[in-house]
Structure formats: structure tokens, C-alpha cells
Amino acid sequence: MKTAFVIGGGPAGLMAAQELALAGASVALIEAKPSLGRKFLMAGKSGLNLTMDEPIDAFTAKYGEAGQWLSSMLHEFGPNEVSEFATRLGQTVFTGSSGRVFPQVMKASPMLRAWIKHLDALSVTISTKWRWTGWDDGALVFETPDGPRTCIADVVVLALGGKSWARLGSDGQWATHFEKAVTPFGPSNSAISIEWSAHVAQHFGTPLKAVTFKSGPYQSRGEAVISKNGLEGGGVYSVSRGVREGHPLFIDLKPDWSTSLVEAALQKPKGKTSTINHLRKVLKLQKHELALLNEWARPLPSDLRSLADTVKHLKVADAKLRPIDEAISTSGGIRRDALDESLMLKSRAGVFCAGEMLDWEAPTGGYLLTASFATGRTAGRGAAKYLGLTPAP
């Protein structure tokens, strides 16, 4: 029987192992941590967002320049297929008001348990606490609880993750083995690091709602929380790429009003009221929003047009991304030109790559998980074909 090693026990690795086993290979699934799917489980702590209920072309467009590369994989295993797969694992799914798809239980653990049980039924051998450290004359080398081990397989699928959340298994150390094929890592879906003045401390933990964030070509109507370390939440995650690329970050505090409408409101008589109180009254700005104006736009412009423009384009001073290990995901990884259409490395026959170790990035909202499933499936099926096996329908 043909042997396959799948290294990495996240969603991409689990999917690749499943495809190879269904095709008839003898599969060993290897994980460096004590248990499988640790980042998958972490994603489910706030409600496991599996995918998005939207047309596949609109879905694929969310991956930006990587959309063309991922398109065929996502068309074969996209939002509908992810929902059907979860259902086959006994997880009833539902679509929220935002189009996000969740399992009814909202957790990742029941789905992960069912998936591991399914792999066990397919005779997939699972080894944990085995850390892959490279090759020795074509043999795979591992650090294991019982000391160093070398293994030879007919085919290998690497699903080693990116470089965020190292404590969950994605530390990016594997990149040293593929330096010529790797785009350097960067934080993606990252919180914004800000050194606040003391007067903002009273607003830590306050959500910043109904605003628009913009950085370079990226814009998001979303929510963020004012935290001790800066701003965090879906609204800023969606535009963090712009900050990473060197663009300034702006907040529109009145996104439903034009600049002219804001200016017209500011023209109302204010009497002896301070400018800040006038902004609160005529624009209905909240205390934490006024605090942000004080933080980044003091002294406030006396010219009403300039003041209106400040409300609509409040520049976040010295915005930086939080450290990469805190990011939800990362940019960078194995480049498209280093792989063939089945995700096999051009420089090393029989070695396939999948998941977040590939050079693509996506927003939160199920896009990360769906592409991990889809690329794992593609790599697993490609590896099966490389072995001369026929992938399952």
C-alpha cells in the first residue's frame, strides 16, 4: 500500500489526510502539539464561523489578488460544500443575519471530535508531539517524545500553518527549509497598536460602533474595541493590511453623513458651549468618540469645513500593527510560482503544501477556514493522483 505523511493537524491537514485515506493510501497524520486542531478550537471560542453564505464569485473576490489562484479550488469546495461537510459530520449549520455560517452548537470541538473519529474509521494513524525538522537525504526527520526519528513516505503533504499564535502550533519555523519559495510573513487581520494618552484609559473596553475605517485602498464599516493596547475587532482587522503596507489609518465618525452635512450641522449656533460639547450635541457623538478627537486632532480646527473634514477623516496618529504572533492570520508563505496546480512543490516532487502556509490572505468571516479546507482537499487529491490512486468522488 502507498504511504502518505500529512504533517500538520489543523483543518488543511485533516482534509488532506481524509482525501488520501479515501483514495486508498496508508496515511500517517503528524502534529507537533499534544492534540489536533488547536487553532481551529480557538477560532470556535467566540462562535465557529465556518464560511459565508454568498455567491461563489463574490466569495472568491474577498481573497484579493490570490482569488485567481484559489478560484478553482474554492469553486470545487466553497461555502456550500463546507456547510454540507459540516452536516455530514453531524453538525447542523445556520446562517446569521450577516451571512456568516455557524454550526448550531457554535463550538468547534464537536465537529473536530467527529472529524477525528471519521479519520480513525479510515485507518489514519495519528501521532502527536512529533515535530518535523526537515529532511535527511530524502527521509523526513522528526523530534518525538522518544527521541529523533526518520521516516520515508511515498508522498508528503505539509500543512504547517502561518506564523501567528505560535503557542497553538503556527510558528513559521518551517520556512527556513524553503527560503527561495517563501514570501516573508506579515501580520494579517491584526489589531492596531496605539500608545494612548492617560485620558483615554476610562474608555478601555468601550466598543466603537457605526464608524468606517480606511487605510489605503482598504475600507471597512465595522466595529472595534478601544483597548489598553490600541484598537481591536473586525472593523480594524479588515483594513490592517493597509497599515502593514504603510498607509495611514483614518476613522470616519459619521459615515452616513457627507462632509457638507456635518459642516451644516456645525453651523448651528453654539453660544458659550465648548467645541467638544457642540460636537456632542449637533453630531450626537459619544464620549469615547469625542475622546478620540481630543487624542488625535487637538487643537480642533476653528474653521468649520476643516472641523467637518476632521470628523470624517480622523487620522489615527502613529498607528502600527500589533506583533505578528497576536494576529489572527498572516500574509506570506509558499508562493504560487513555487507550486504546480495540484499544490506540489516544483522543487521537490511528491511534496505538497496546503492551508495558511501558502501565500494568500483573507478577511475573517469564514474565508480563512474555507480556503484551508479547499487547499487541503486540493493537496490531498493531488497527492493521491501522484501515487496513482483515484481520489474519491
**Hey, what domains does the chain have and what are their CATH numbers?**
3-187+328-386 (3.50.50.60), 192-321 (no CATH)
What's the confidence (pLDDT) of residue 272? 85
Name the residue type at position 59: F
pTM higher than the cut 0.85: yes
What's the confidence (pLDDT) of residue 131? 98
Rounded distance between C-alpha atoms, residue 277 and residue 180, angstroms:
58
Enumerate residues 6+ apart whose C-beta is below 8 A from 325. 163, 164, 165, 166
Segment-wise mean pLDDT, segments of 10 residues, the chain, 393 residues: 96 98 98 96 89 97 96 98 98 95 96 98 98 96 97 98 94 94 97 96 97 97 96 96 98 97 94 90 96 95 95 97 96 98 97 98 94 98 98 94
Contact 51, 366 (CB under 8 A): yes
What's the confidence (pLDDT) of residue 179? 84
What's the confidence (pLDDT) of residue 157? 98
Task: Name 101's bridge partners.
Answer: 51, 95
Q: At 125, is the secondary structure helix, strand, or coil?
A: strand
Nearest Cα to 196, choosing from 236, 222, 227? 227
